[in-house]
Amino acid sequence: MPLQTLIKDLYAILPADAVLYETEDLKPYECDGLSAYRQLPLVVVMPQTESQIVQILQLCHANQIPVVARGAGTGLSGGALPHAQGVLLSLAKINRIVAIDPLARTARVQPGVRNLAISEAAAAYGLYYAPDPSSQIACSIGGNVAENSGGVHCLKYGLTVHNILKLRLLTIDGDCLEIGGEGLDSAGYDLLALLTGSEGMLGIVTEVTVKLIPKPEKAQLVMAAFDDVLKAGNAVANVIAAGIIPAGMEMMDKITIHAVEEFLHAGYDMNAEAILLCESDGSVEEVADEVGRIHTILKQSGATNISLSQNEAERLGFWAGRKAAFPAAGRVSPDYYCMDGTIPRKRLAEVLNGIARLSQEYGLRCMNVFHAGDGNLHPLILYDANQPGELEKTEEFGGKILEMCIHAGGTITGEHGVGMEKINQMCVQFSPDELEMFHAVKAAFDPHGLLNPGKAVPTLHRCAEFGAMHVHHGALKFTELPRF
Amino acid sequence: MQSVIEHYQASIQQAVENKTPLHICGGGSKSFYGQAVPNQTALILDVTAYHGIIDYEPTELVVTARAGTRLAELESVLSQHGQMLAFEPPHWSEAATLGGCVAAGLSGPRRVSAGSVRDFVLGVRLLNGIASDLHFGGQVMKNVAGYDVSRLMVGAMGTLGVLLEVSLKVLPKPATEITLCMDIDEQSAIERMNEWAGRPLPISATCYVDHVLYLRLSGAESAVRAAQEKLGAETWGDGQAFWQSVCEQTHSFFQSPKPLWRLSINPTAAPLSVPGKQLLEWHGGLRWVVCEDPSDAESIRSAAKAAGGHATLFRHGDGQIPVFHPLSPGLMKIHRALKEKFDPQRILNPGRLYSEL
């Protein structure tokens, strides 16, 4: 279909200012939060109603035009990277909180609603939406569903998949499906689970019903410094072995502590090899009880320094450092590359040592922040994109970290998604039969492969090429091959 | 143990060749549940031989076990480390297996606070309908690599694959549990349960039956005592026995030979005006109805739909009325496509979930 015809047909569906096709208008959409990957789409569309999306999908389906959905564009794996021959479907303007039902503890929201906006709207009822990815002020709930986003509190409160009840989903041919229900389960296959984290490959979500939970009466943070990362890892295991599920449990290594402290002066112990933040929440009585036990366990586990937040301001202050880890990385290095592997926690020391070895080998510094409770590791590789070859070196380093996570019994992505970024490592984590099954699932929803094509699941052909690349010591061959 | 898997694979391959359906059987504790596999020529695939715990790390909160492992055995090992399957699965027989628990996807009273079976599934190993040996998910809490096929298996009644191994998140057992009770009418009970659920109280289960509301409080001793004071209800003597009778359906409510319906709906829905006796769980989100008249299926299904949910003919159906709530044409299309991809010859438990699958 010629571009002019496509634009004309889109104008029949949308107002003129909701169709973008001039290069300078497309530019802001060329990448998501992973700016290393850039691609201009043919057209960007910004519908405001579900019926407009239906018509856009029908148009694209009839003409076999790829469709890439985009929420706030904060994703970290290139999942919303446009398709050169495709339509970029921005859902940012479909951003209404449709209804909050305080008694049933649910909110019906459109996909463009920001994660934090849900909790802000629910606050009047003493309720909130639990998953809190660090981008929560900006990221949208539609994107959270696409990525199955977590956050620092997910060991206790779960991921997106645990906190949603129902979706309105448009299939590529424009059919509207209700997935899930107002009860806690629904008839038939658990499509709600299958769709959560499906990276925009199976359908377009136009409404999400999320669960809201009561705000705990109190939260208190215990901050402990350790002179050895291994001791900090063991301390986490000891807390859990004592039957405690902290609301949050975060670890930072020395290089992160220094980067953050110089940036923010959060009061972190600069002599520590690792800092552990351990949060307790619940009723006043429960928190007092739990914090006391956590304090004892951390002390017995060899903490060199323990502080308890004495008030809400101090608690937020302790957290501020952890939450500023990414900007701090941006301050000590021109660029950084955030990885997202998950490992069984008992393998932490081994994986951190491996990262340190690779860091020396590649001559690139690496900061490590760790959702210690659930084993989700975010190494931040510091590099300078203006140095020729450094991005390529960084990607290779990152790829090796992910493969190490797989060998440790973990996974290449805990919460950021595969997108474009980790598609090669999918070949390492899954067998050809398993990858074929993923393609079959995709085909059950989208037989022509029009939704977000080329993301999340590699073709077997691509894996064969990637295997060949490995044999040649990681030297990138076949760079002319499309990356899908 | 590899030879057991090879035996399963050979059975599947043979079934594909002969076009004979396989009826997958674990401990048989849930054989009443779902529709009958219709073909009289169906062969039984006994999946109890592949059993045993493979890996359990209490400090990682993860256990991996073979699907033929008895639930009771698994829970007893967890219990030795002060941990539990937090979704409180019903057993209905000592022979109940982990595989059956996951395939049926049923959770007990604690589901309302802790989550369901599918919420705790982290990964599975399975054989699909062409006997490919596949792993999905893993043994870690957070994992978004690939589609979430492991959770898709939960409640699929064995129609998409033969489960071989399952990894589950486990949780510590609460330090203290007490049960409170109060006499109250149904409408008020529904309102109270939902109001309380919106407050930070350690309520782990609720049940309303015979005009009495039962609440279970679980957590740290201090938290449970403080909540008890706030709620101001009486303590019920043998709470543990009560919740077990609800979960295992040994409570007198469940003893009727009449059709038993399970309605999963919006918890705040007003008392349902459907014929028959009712028992409520999950703050009103789960309503069991013993229906005297089998011809009331339509009215029960439409009541469930009007309340935002669905109705399952759980026990004592007549074999004519579909067990599971009919799907919309659009959803059935996706279900059929998925079945076709996982089990192209329709040999795995055909018809057990829907006659079309």
Whether the pLDDT of residue A106 is over 60: the answer is yes
Query: What is the per-residue pLDDT for B237?
Result: 87
Within-domain flag for B324: no
Q: Mark whether B47 and B110 lie in a shared domain.
A: yes
Q: Mark whether B109 and B48 lie in a shared domain.
A: yes
Question: Residue A306 sits in a domain of what CATH number?
Answer: 3.30.70.2190
Whether the pLDDT of residue B161 is over 60: the answer is yes
- Main-chain phi, psi angles of A321, to 5 degrees: -60, -50
Query: What is the per-residue pLDDT for A470?
Result: 34
Higher pLDDT, A481 or A434: A434
Q: Which tens digits make up the pLDDT trace of A331-345?
A: 889 999 999 999 998
Whether the pLDDT of residue A411 is over 70: the answer is yes
What is d(CA B200, CA A126) in angstroms, rounded to the nearest whole number?
9
Cβ contacts (< 8 Å) between B111 and chain A: which residues?
A: 184
Q: Quickly list H helices, chain B.
A: 2-18, 71-80, 98-104, 111-114, 117-120, 149-152, 186-197, 221-231, 239-247, 297-306, 329-342
Across all residues in chain A, what is the average pLDDT? 93
Bridge-based pairing state of the strands A67-70 and A87-90: parallel
Instruction: Tell me the count of A-B CB pairs closer than 8 A.
Output: 282
Tell me if A41 sits within 8 A of A87, measured CB to CB. yes
Among residues A45, A63, A90, which one ends one of the domains?
A90
Q: Mark whether B91 and B218 lie in a shared domain.
A: no
Q: Which of A105, A238, A414 sits opposite B143 (nearest CB)?
A: A414
Looking at chain A, the whole-number percentage of residues with pLDDT higher than 70 is 96
Q: What is the mean pLDDT of residues B307-327?
A: 96
Q: Which tens digits make up the pLDDT trace of A60-83?
A: 999 999 999 999 999 999 999 999
B334 and A445 within 8 Å at the Cβ level: the answer is yes
Q: Mark whether A250 and A287 lie in a shared domain.
A: yes
Query: What is the per-residue pLDDT for A477?
Result: 37
Within-domain flag for B71: yes
Query: What is the per-residue pLDDT for B39?
Result: 65
Whether the pLDDT of residue B244 is over 90: the answer is yes
Q: B60 lies in which domain range?
A: 2-172
Among residues B126, B153, B172, which one ends one of the domains?
B172
Q: Which tens digits make up the pLDDT trace of A204-218?
A: 999 999 999 999 999
Among residues A327, A343, A377, which one ends one of the domains?
A327
Which of A129-138, A252-261, A264-273, B84-93 tops mean pLDDT? B84-93
pTM > 0.90: yes
Question: Residue B62 sits in a domain of what CATH number?
Answer: 3.30.465.10
Q: Mark whether A243 and A281 lie in a shared domain.
A: yes
Cβ contacts (< 8 Å) between B147 and chain A: which residues?
A: 194, 197-198, 201-202, 438, 441-442, 457
Question: Residue A54 sits in a domain of what CATH number?
Answer: 3.30.43.10
Question: Residue A109 sits in a domain of what CATH number?
Answer: 3.30.465.10
What is d(CA B256, CA B294) in angstroms, rounded to the nearest whole number?
13
Within-domain flag for A368: no
Within-domain flag for A420: no
Cβ contacts (< 8 Å) between B145 and chain A: which residues?
A: 411-413, 418, 422, 426, 429-430
What is d(CA A7, CA B252) in angstroms, rounded to the nearest whole number?
67
Q: What is the mean pLDDT of residues B266-275?
A: 95
Which amino acid is located at A350 in the chain?
E
Q: A149 lies in which domain range?
A: 98-214
Give the tokens for residue A183.
């009860």
Within-domain flag for B210: yes
Q: Mark whether A258 and A203 lie in a shared domain.
A: no
SS3 string of chain A? Answer: CCHHHHHHHHHCCCCHHHEECCHHHHHHHCCCCCCCCCCCCCEEECCCCHHHHHHHHHHHHHHCCCEEEECCCCCCCCCCCCCCCCEEEECCCCCCEEEEECCCCEEEECCCCEHHHHHHHHHHHCEECCCCCCCCCCCEHHHHHHHCCCCCCHHHHCCHHHCEEEEEEECCCCCEEEEECCCCCCCCCCHHHHHCCCCCCCCEEEEEEEECEECCCEEEEEEEEECCHHHHHHHHHHHHHCCCCCCEEEEEEHHHHHHHHHHHCCCCCCCCCEEEEEEEEECHHHHHHHHHHHHHHHHHCCCCEEEECCCHHHHHHHHHHHHCHHHHHHHHCCEEEECCEECCHHHHHHHHHHHHHHHHHHCCCEEEEEECCCCEEEEEEEECCCCCCHHHHHHHHHHHHHHHHHHCCCECCCCCCCCCCCHHHHHHHCCHHHHHHHHHHHHHHCCCCCECCCCCCCCHHHHHHHHHHHHCCCCCCCCCCCCC
Whether the pLDDT of residue B287 is over 70: the answer is yes
Q: Mark whether A180 and A232 lie in a shared domain.
A: no
Question: Residue B184 sits in a domain of what CATH number?
Answer: 3.30.70
Within-domain flag for A384: no
* pLDDT category of residue A469 using cuts at 50, 70 and 90: very low
Q: What is the mean pLDDT of residues A382-400?
A: 93
Among residues B247, B279, B298, which one ends one of the domains?
B247
Q: Mark whether A23 and A59 lie in a shared domain.
A: yes
Residue tagged 């696409």 (tokens): A146
Q: Mark whether B131 and B213 lie in a shared domain.
A: no
Query: What is the per-residue pLDDT for B234?
Result: 87
A162 and B115 within 8 Å at the Cβ level: the answer is yes
Whether the pLDDT of residue B263 is over 80: the answer is yes
Query: What is the per-residue pLDDT for A267?
Result: 87
B341 and A441 within 8 Å at the Cβ level: the answer is yes
Within-domain flag for B336: no
What is d(CA A256, CA B235) in angstroms, rounded to the nearest whole number?
51
Q: Mark whether A192 and A103 lie in a shared domain.
A: yes
B148 and A159 within 8 Å at the Cβ level: the answer is no
Within-domain flag for A402: no
Total domains, chain A: 4
Within-domain flag for B263: no
Q: Mark whether B13 and B112 lie in a shared domain.
A: yes
Within-domain flag for A161: yes
Q: Mark whether A266 and A311 lie in a shared domain.
A: yes
Total domains, chain B: 2
Q: Mark whether A20 and A78 lie in a shared domain.
A: yes
Bridge-based pairing state of the strands B203-209 and B260-264: unpaired
Within-domain flag for A365: no
Looking at chain A, the whole-number percentage of residues with pLDDT higher than 90 is 86
Q: Mark whether B200 and B69 lie in a shared domain.
A: no
Q: Mark whether B10 and B84 lie in a shared domain.
A: yes
Task: Provide ipTM, 2 decimals.
Answer: 0.97
A124: burial class by Cβ within 10 Å (0-12, 13-18, 19+)? Answer: exposed
Q: How far is B145 from chain A (nearest CA, A)?
A: 6
Cβ contacts (< 8 Å) between A376 and chain B: which residues?
A: 140-142
Q: Mark whether B191 and B165 lie in a shared domain.
A: no
Among residues A60, A90, A120, which one ends one of the domains?
A90
Whether the pLDDT of residue B222 is over 80: the answer is yes
Tell me if A186 sits within 8 A of A231, measured CB to CB. no
Within-domain flag for A345: no
Whether the pLDDT of residue A483 is over 50: the answer is no
Within-domain flag for A139: yes
Q: Mark whether A435 and A483 lie in a shared domain.
A: yes
Q: Which of A104, A158, A438 sits opposite B147 (nearest CB)?
A: A438
Which residue in A has a C-alpha nearest to residue B158's C-alpha? A189
Q: Which of B59, B220, B340 sits opposite A289 (nearest CB)?
A: B220
What is d(CA A470, CA A466) in angstroms, rounded to the nearest whole number?
6
Q: Which tens digits make up the pLDDT trace of B92-146?
A: 999 999 999 999 999 999 999 999 999 999 999 999 999 999 999 999 999 999 9
Among residues B247, B266, B286, which one ends one of the domains?
B247
Whether the pLDDT of residue A201 is over 50: the answer is yes
Q: Which tens digits make up the pLDDT trace of B14-59?
A: 999 999 999 999 999 999 999 987 766 789 999 999 999 999 999 9
